[in-house]
Structure 1
């Protein structure tokens, strides 16, 4: 009956290799220690013969014996230096393998989170559909219920697009983590970072140009190619002039693959591409009033 050994993993292989290198180095160091002790003895013996005035033949033999031991010690020192380099290389390989193991474990957790979101999304979709149908399939037409149904339907579309986006971002982060170039300390702004109190007055959009507007007495600026909760009052004019687009738009998916969803920092006031949505809205309103007049 054949027996098979369990195949060692990368870390175990590096640990075994490092242990073998350390054992071999220890044996070499012991041989060098013996050689150096023997060399000291040969030198002392040659010195005694020379001081005692021994004949040339005895001195020649003593010097030849000393040189032989000295050459052997020199060779062992060179081998020891080479082993030190090999041990250092094995230690680095083991450290890299452990780091990769940790990165792989973290990437697995990120991918598991994306998979969990994908599994949960249909349940949310089904629940939202049931809420919408509770109103739309009724024979009654009540304005409050109709508005509720429209709001739920809009949220359902946003959540579907946001779920697709976050799953793509998570899987991209997992790939970067495995490769060792992830920057998890500064992740892209989370969808949950948008103020929840104003959620009903905002819609999650993707910017195509750097934007600026005033809100609650403060100036807000966002870069191009970023997710933003845009006030719905500014949404029509921003969409009309193609400064933003919906998350499920085909071009947005392409741009997110190219640029991500965090942008490149807050735009400067002198940026020639910066669009003032308030000014644009005022301009559109005045133009419409003039047309009516």
Structure 2
């Protein structure tokens, strides 16, 4: 029996998922790096010793043959250490690539799981719809098949029938939307709502061209007679006319900037709980005016 188990076990071996394959590859690279780093460290230590030995021989005025031998040994050890350093740098790049691949595979797995859950929700709605339709039809039938004709009951039956048609239509629509969302989720481009652009959650004026940006300091600007404010470390829809000034003075940065990703992880992208202090607000309009005045002065 043990023989048959050994022979059949490869046929029943579970296939690894992409995440598991990348995890194993990354772990293998990390183990390999540890061994290579130990060899490189030993080579660097040996190189230090050989340099010190060659220096001692030279200072002591050793014979030419001994100095030549020491130099040859030193060059050999230097070349070995150089080779190990290059291999270690290349392995570090491979580890970084493996980490990126693992992150992407994990994200794809999570997207697949979320999409499966969305599709399961659509299926559950579709399976529940016939039961709802049957119940509504039973209510309508109870009134229609009744011996007595009562106006209130007739109106009730009409309302139930209208509601039944509306719910069936809405169910078809929501199932289609859920399946479309599942497709977008699998592709990684499902829409995600951003935080409100300013502290009072007012929608931006459609006639002003804007850019979603991340604030690094509390900001203030004017749109006609209206004064807008935004706290630090929030996503705002900033007028593009003020964007160059805000970027030049390091008061905002793009959403895909590396430091913004770190700040979002620390602070989040939602508006801060307390309104910014007026004394701390940076007036972007005043900054833009100063920049224009400085530019005109430079031209003059």
What is the TM-score normalised by the length of structure 1?
0.60
Cross-structure match for 2:73: 65
Cross-structure match for 1:84: 92
Is 2:147 the counterpart of 1:162?
Answer: no
Is 2:184 the counterpart of 1:176?
Answer: yes
Per-residue deviation, 1:164: 0.4
Is 2:18 the counterpart of 1:10?
Answer: yes
Q: Secondary structure at the match of 1:165?
A: helix
Per-residue deviation, 1:114: 0.8
Cross-structure match for 2:52: 44
Per-residue deviation, 1:136: 2.4
- Which of 98, 103, 112 is the equivalent residue of 2:111? 103
Matches of 2:57 and 2:124, distance apart in 1: 86
The count of residues paired between Structure 1 and Structure 2 equals 186
Is 2:144 the counterpart of 1:136?
Answer: yes
Per-residue deviation, 1:185: 4.6
Per-residue deviation, 1:178: 1.8
Cross-structure match for 1:122: 130
Q: Secondary structure at the match of 2:16?
A: coil
Per-residue deviation, 1:36: 0.8
Matches of 1:32 and 1:53, distance apart in 2: 31
Is 2:12 the counterpart of 1:32?
Answer: no
Cross-structure match for 2:241: none
Cross-structure match for 1:272: none
Give the 5 Å matches for 1:191-202.
none
Matches of 1:80 and 1:74, distance apart in 2: 10
- Which of 121, 141, 146 is the equivalent residue of 1:113? 121
Give the 5 Å matches for 1:230-269.
none
Per-residue deviation, 1:184: 5.1
Greater C-alpha Rg: 1
Matches of 2:193 and 2:183, distance apart in 1: 16
Per-residue deviation, 1:139: 4.7
For residues 165-213 of structure 1, give each alpha carbon's deviation from its aligned partner in whole angstroms, at most 9, with x where no partner exists: 1111111111222222223557xxxxxxxxxxxxxxxxxxxxxxxxxxx
Runs (4+) of structure 1 exceeding 6 A deviation are: none
For residues 232-280 of structure 1, give each alpha carbon's deviation from its aligned partner in whole angstroms, at most 9, with x where no partner exists: xxxxxxxxxxxxxxxxxxxxxxxxxxxxxxxxxxxxxxxxxxxxxxxxx
Identify unmatched segments of 5+ residues in structure 2. 195-300
Matches of 1:134 and 1:58, distance apart in 2: 113
Matches of 1:64 and 1:184, distance apart in 2: 64
Q: Secondary structure at the match of 1:153?
A: helix
What is the TM-score normalised by the length of structure 2?
0.59
Matches of 1:120 and 1:8, distance apart in 2: 36
Per-residue deviation, 1:59: 1.6
CA RMSD of aligned residues (A): 1.6
